[in-house]
Amino acid sequence: MDIDNLVHMANRIGEFFQAMPDAAQAQLDLSEHIRKFWEPRMRNALNAHLESTGGHDLQPFVRSALISNKVAWL
């Protein structure tokens, strides 16, 4: 898995959901989108990257959503 590509995709998805009026629901929706449409290898690679680097290259909205809703997307 190319982690740079996964981060880029997560950030792009985050741009869409961040425009939603309810931030908490938008973060949950982002997490659910990743669970539904990303295969397990992709989710596991993103999770490993998040745990090893803290997700410094993820947009703050995306990083917060993934950390807050970890159960929803893994």
Within a domain: residue 17?
no
pLDDT given at position 56: 96
pLDDT given at position 71: 84
Q: Which SS3 state, helix, strand or coil, does residue 38 take?
A: coil
pLDDT given at position 28: 96
Within a domain: residue 29?
yes
Within a domain: residue 18?
no
Q: Give the pLDDT band of residue 1 (cuts 50, 70, 90).
A: confident
- Number of domains within the chain: 1
Distance, CA of 20 to CA of 41 (rounded, Å): 28
pLDDT given at position 72: 84
pTM for this one? 0.92
| Nearest by Cα to 63 from 5, 18, 2 | 18
Which residues form the domain of 50?
3-12+24-73
